[in-house]
Amino acid sequence: MQLVRIAGPTVAMRALGEVEGLDLERSSASRLDDDTWQVAGYATDEALAELEQRGLSSELIAAPDELAAERDELFSQITRDEDGS
């Protein structure tokens, strides 16, 4: 999974829930103009290919290895906090 920003026309964006391998951060949705929206989410390579086929644009925010490193750091901080370290 990678973190991406997706943009496109309203009609195509409404169908994002149908894309397997895509987990949207709905609170990040914003209108860019009268008929264009953007939203951030986590996507597999297959989901990104589907988005491209649907004519939507995507921009990489964080690659899979970056997300894994951030997740590892977060979990290590939680563990330290729980241990009282």
Residue-wise pLDDT for 54-77, tens only, equals 999 999 998 888 877 777 787 888
- Give the pLDDT confidence score for residue 71 in this predicted structure: 77
How far apart, in whole angstroms, are the C-alpha atoms of residue 66 and residue 50? 23
How far apart, in whole angstroms, are the C-alpha atoms of residue 37 and residue 21? 20
Q: Domains in the chain, please, with CATH?
A: 2-83 (3.30.70)
Those residues of the chain that have pLDDT short of 70 are: 84-85
pTM of the model: 0.78
Query: Tokens standing for 19?
Result: 């894309």
